[in-house]
Structure 1
């Protein structure tokens, strides 16, 4: 009787390990390739060297693309976080006709194929004469990331006690003061989680960037994609590893914030 539950647990562990191996093996291969002393993306590597990381962090093409990704990512995150948070409050607490339809429309970027988003953004911003500008890419990435912020903030607002806002109003706080001193601190985990994921979406995005940017405005993912097409170099693997570690760090930070938020919600009051 005791054998079967233990066997099922071991089987589940083996299954999980195999799935993780299947998912992570292609990514893990990039690490030794990025440390090769050769000039080709091949395994086994002829020797070990940090030369390609030096190229990524010193070559103006790579450093410019990395800096551009940071600028676009931070700008898009700020816009997506502000608009997404306000939209989440309105959709959670508001009562107006078409509320479900509006929520569905906001969620469209989450389910629409990214190539369609890229073509649509190109057509729209080409009409405005903004193709090739960093401003267009920031707006496009903000529109792509805002639904994630809406989702995470709405999840936090579901457990928010609105009587706290009424208590603040009864003590003389204006709506803006209550929003800033009561609402924002209590839903900060959801806002910060949404902001981190929004930054990750913008930082890793390549399809829309390919439609909207020129050679001078390349982001890091587009530089990697262009490098694969133009000149196969281990610097591509080094840049990919840097991108992977940045994404993993952001995801780990997001998971830690969610864990602390759950712990805070479970704390007795």
Structure 2
């Protein structure tokens, strides 16, 4: 590691200790997740490393748990439901969250802090309380046990993430561009899609990805609101842990880790792109 020439020995030691602590925290967070990946290739129906796996014997590894995912109708239904519910919940959350963030960014908006606190409350209130409240509320409209009920519930959970990311993208937004567009005779809708949206698009996409991940990984609300036909991947994994433990769950978890890693890389790319756009407009 290269240090500036003006660093004293104590400063160099402090920098090394800070870097070491960062790597330790990273290992603390990542290792429990990564250990799932090799276990998903276990040829035996165990949740632990067998002697053959530790000795790297080829016969100790197998792809049969991944094959079971394809052959099991329950897993296929759960995968289909997760993507369908996640897609529509993300669409609703992104639309509502973007509009809310743009409205809250207006300096003439009254009670901005109070409205923001209410909109972000699904992130703060314990999820079990939110799920119970949604169940009793949605039951009045016969939405419990339906796709529409689960989609709306997941959209409500994902909207705060969209608001935060879009609000961050709007922090450096130059509203003189909007005034100029309107002053030249452009309609509000045209101004929104041609002036505002291109500049905040990275924040919108980042919020949409967060909303999708929130829906894709959520299990508590699904336990309250979903029926047998709306079972998602986390719900199926929860049932598998209770009814019949086998490494198929680990295989699904590995696939989820890969999907999450791809989404994180996408988010980092969008964050860097948004930063470049922000610096370029200054």
Short-chain TM bin: over 0.9
Deviation of the 1:161 alpha carbon: 0.8
1:75 and 2:88 correspond: yes
Question: In 1, distance between residues paired with 2:109 and 2:12?
Answer: 53
Deviation of the 1:59 alpha carbon: 1.7
Instruction: Give the aligned partner of residue 140 of structure 1.
Output: 153
Deviation of the 1:94 alpha carbon: 5.4
Question: In 1, distance between residues paired with 2:187 and 2:109?
Answer: 24
> Residues 207-222 of structure 1: matches in 2 within 5 Å?
207-222=220-235
Deviation of the 1:129 alpha carbon: 1.5
Please list the CA deviations of residues 188-245 of structure 1 after superposition, one character each: whole Å capped at 9, or x if unmatched: 1111111111101111111111111122211001111110011001000000111111
- Classify the secondary structure of the residue corresponding to 1:187: helix
1:2 and 2:8 correspond: yes
> Residues 17-166 of structure 1: matches in 2 within 5 Å?
17-44=23-50, 46=52, 47-93=60-106, 95-166=108-179
Task: Give the aligned length.
Answer: 269
Deviation of the 1:93 alpha carbon: 0.9
Point out 4+ residue stretches in structure 1 off by more than 4 angstroms.
none
Question: In 2, distance between residues paired with 1:180 and 1:31?
Answer: 43
1:13 and 2:19 correspond: yes
Question: In 2, distance between residues paired with 1:45 and 1:58?
Answer: 29
Question: In 2, distance between residues paired with 1:40 and 1:192?
Answer: 40
Question: In 2, distance between residues paired with 1:206 and 1:213?
Answer: 10
Please list the CA deviations of residues 120-178 of structure 1 after superposition, one character each: whole Å capped at 9, or x if unmatched: 11111122221111110100000011011111111111211111112112322111111
- Equivalent pair of 1:36/1:45 in contact (CA under 8 Å): no
- Equivalent pair of 1:37/1:45 in contact (CA under 8 Å): no
1:190 and 2:196 correspond: no
Question: In 1, distance between residues paired with 2:268 and 2:187?
Answer: 34
- Classify the secondary structure of the residue corresponding to 1:233: coil
Alignment RMSD: 1.5
TM (normalized to structure 1)? 0.95
Give structure 2 stretches of 5+ with no counterpart.
1-6, 53-59
Question: In 2, distance between residues paired with 1:102 and 1:198?
Answer: 20
- Classify the secondary structure of the residue corresponding to 2:144: coil
User: 52-61 or 184-193, which moves further after superposition?
Assistant: 52-61
TM (normalized to structure 2)? 0.91
